[in-house]
Amino acid sequence: MKDNFRQSMKWFHTWVGLVVGWVLFFMFLTGSLGYFYQEITRWMEPERPFIAHEVSTEKLLDTAQIYLNKHAKGVDEWDIMLPNARDQNLRVGWRHLVDSGKQGSRYKITVLDALTGEAVASRATGGGKLLYRMHYRLHYLSTSISYWVVGFCSMLMLLAVITGVVIHKKIFTDFFTFRAKKGLLGWLDIHNVLSVIALPFHFMITYSGLLFFLFTYMVLSTNLQINDEEFDEMLNEIYPGSTHLDSARQPSDMLKVSSLYQQVKNSWHADELSYVEMFAADDINAHARFVRHETDITYNPDDEVTINAITGEVIAVKINKYTGAGIIHNGFFSLHEGHFAGPIARWIYFFTGLIGTAMIASGLILWTTKRKPKQMKKANGPDFGYRLVEQLNIGTIVGLPIAIASYFYANRLLPLDMANRINWEANIMFISWAVLLIYPAFRTAKQAWSEQLLFAALLYFMLPIVNAFTTDKHLLNSLHHQDWNLAGFDLTLLVVSSCFAFAAYKMTSPQLSNKTSAQRNKQVSKRVNNKIVIEKRDHPSVQVTNDSLLPLPQANKEKC
Amino acid sequence: MSYLVNKLNACSPYWSMFSRVLAAITGGYVLATANSIFISQLLLSSVGKYQAIHIGLMLTFITYACVAMWVFSVSTATKVWLGLIKLTVLVAVATWLLMKLNGMSS
């Protein structure tokens, strides 16, 4: 299309990244938050008690079972979720019948106070789960439309990742080239560093994201080859779910879950129970499955022990065999979701996700930075397209984080007895995003950037304070109780706030402007014959070698 | 036919771009699907039916990406469509031959 393959791919990379860049930014940011969705939900339900230290697993199991015997009588299947590093409250869950008039049932989780054994009545909130669901389910759109939109965007992301590698003949040299504070080249280097530093992650997350809906997207291929029955059989082969006995409708007395747990404890080394699933409760077929925390990306049969709840005997479970392709498929799922990740790995996941988000943001900013000099010379001002991209950039890159902050504000400030409270939390998030998308139209780009950055810094800084005024789960209390999940959330907000404040300061400080004299007499590195040379100079000019990604005249124009 | 396509191409660069985008999306999808069936037929005897289909499916996104990149690297939109048709026919014929072969051995 262009002169050669790499030039074509460069063009392709630019446009593939641009057309859905803002949706991808949304998906990456909400997806990254998803790695902490349980922690976010916990913060958004401040009625939950603080962490209860040193309550034995047996005691917790008893507490939960007493509650279940009282409130879930006659329910065949229920679960007990033990406090863990991610969610430090005791929870029980079972399928509740939907209100009269409607068919079916809905799985609901109830949080219990580990000390009193009473249910905690939390405010109605979408929690972290709603936020995390948005990254593949979007919001407002119907499920099937969302999946196709997300699939289309992910496919373009995959293309952007692959073409990004193709156009970088010297991907590793570029990685170590960093020209700070230098407008276009600075942004290009930032984009390169962010892309290369987490390249395997970017590829994995995009490709596995597509795999999640493989059978939806590639429905034609399966339909041409197999019928519906065979398709179900194939799914069973790919995701071999474990089977369990159903209730025989013959009531029988069960042993206590805590006494069943004694046997499990023997086969496991430590107290590492994650949750218990009870099947056919209070029936002669009753059996409990004890599951411990996942520790690696492949399925480990030792992670589960099934026990007959009447006799207390361990039931040998047929181990599910994965096919070779099934291992790859499910391995990608594990890598994408990161359920196996401990606290440190989880933070790494979170930061890598943010690196992906920042990579998309820097690519979008790069698009405008590159076109700015030419656009500014136009007699009637910049083109509509340029202004649109700039406005969407400001409204999304800073606007979305602000919108997410307003989601948290809505959680704290909306009346507790409000009808449709869950919906309104999300509505407020999207209304604020819409406002921030429109706002840059009335300001110059620079004003809009710095004002929104400052606003974001202020909002994130105020959030822990508002939290302190509206709940008793504020930073001082959570630190005092050593509830690190709660404290971590507030502390992270403060860190995010200072990042935005720093960005706002950078935006307003004169160094960033290319035309000010402040930039003169600064140490600048430049590339000469592919080596990085640091030199002192008093007139900004840039030498770009031929294999740079930028066209030479444009790079010089930007600088001079 | 090719005269007509050329004639339309000459009208406007936007049409050529639209044609390419259409080729990448639809042509890419068809070719990716055809290729997945080809791979399934190729692997059928060695890994079993369901796994063969599964492997073919998992590779569709890679095929799709390669086709899309190729669509935007070829010099004209006409060449793109002709190339896509040729490739699809080639893969379809190869798949058909494989199906015959698999049918005979089973």
Q: In chain B, what are the domain boundaries?
A: 25-101
Same domain for A404 and A498? yes
Q: What CA–CA distance (Å, rounded) separates A279 from A288?
A: 6
- Whose tokens are 């890419």? That residue is B28
Does the residue A435 lie in any domain? Answer: yes
Same domain for A420 and A505? yes
* Residue of A220, A230, A327, A332 to mutate when probing chain B, most B C-beta within 10 A: A220
Cβ–Cβ gap A323/B51 under 8 Å? yes
For A299, what's the count of Cα atoms within 13 Å in the CB-facing half-sphere?
19
Does the residue A433 lie in any domain? Answer: yes
pLDDT at residue A533 in the model: 37
Same domain for A429 and A295? no
Same domain for A173 and A259? no
pLDDT value at A550 more than 60: no
Chain B residues near residue A215 by CB distance under 8 angstroms: 57
Does the residue A235 lie in any domain? Answer: no
Does the residue A233 lie in any domain? Answer: no
Q: Which of A214, A237, A328 sits opposite B50 (nearest CB)?
A: A237
ipTM: 0.90
pTM of this prediction? Answer: 0.88
- The tokens for A223 are 């339909």
* The 3-state secondary structure of A489-501, one letter per residue: HHHHHHHHHHHHH
* Residue of B31, B46, B57 to mutate when probing chain A, most A C-beta within 10 A: B57
Q: Which residue of B has its CA nearest to A221?
A: B33
Contact A87, A60 (CB under 8 A): no
Cβ–Cβ gap B54/A238 under 8 Å? yes
Same domain for A112 and A143? no
Does the residue A181 lie in any domain? Answer: yes
What does each C-alpha distance from A5 to A93, A363, A442 come to in angstroms? 56, 21, 41
Chain A residues near residue B51 by CB distance under 8 angstroms: 237, 323-326
pLDDT at residue A553 in the model: 38
Same domain for A22 and A72? no
Q: Which tens digit of pLDDT belongs to each residue from A358-406?
A: 999 999 999 999 999 899 888 888 889 999 999 999 999 999 999 999 9
Same domain for A294 and A204? no
Q: Count chain A–chain B contacts defined by CB atoms under 8 A.
A: 84
In this structure, what are the phi and psi dihedrals at residue A4, rounded to the nearest 5 degrees?
-140, 180
Cβ neighbour number for residue A92 with a 10 Å cutoff? 23
* Residue of A1, A155, A210, A214 to mutate when probing chain B, most B C-beta within 10 A: A1
Does the residue A234 lie in any domain? Answer: no
Same domain for A104 and A90? yes
pLDDT at residue B3 in the model: 62
Same domain for A195 and A150? yes
Q: Which tens digit of pLDDT belongs to each residue from A473-513?
A: 999 999 999 999 999 999 999 999 999 999 999 888 765 44
Does the residue A232 lie in any domain? Answer: no
Same domain for A35 and A165? yes
Taking the C-alpha atoms of A517, A189, A26 and A337 in order, what is their torsion angle to the nearest 10 degrees?
-150
3-state DSSP helix/strand/coil percent for chain B, to nearest 5?
A: 90, 0, 10
Cβ–Cβ gap A210/B57 under 8 Å? no
Cβ–Cβ gap A221/B57 under 8 Å? yes
Q: Which tens digit of pLDDT belongs to each residue from A392-450?
A: 999 999 999 999 999 999 999 999 999 999 999 999 999 999 999 999 999 999 999 99
Among candidate residues B69, B63, B25, the one with its CA nearest the CA of residue A159? B69
pLDDT at residue A263 in the model: 85
Q: Which tens digit of pLDDT belongs to each residue from A203-245?
A: 999 999 999 999 999 999 999 999 999 999 999 888 887 778 8
**Chain A residues contacting B via beta carbons under 8 Å:** 1, 5, 8-9, 11-12, 155, 158-159, 162-163, 166, 207, 210-211, 214-215, 217-218, 220-222, 224-226, 230, 233-234, 237-238, 323-326, 328-329
Same domain for A99 and A132? no
Q: Which domain holds residue A416?
A: 398-509
Same domain for A144 and A19? yes
Number of domains in chain A: 4
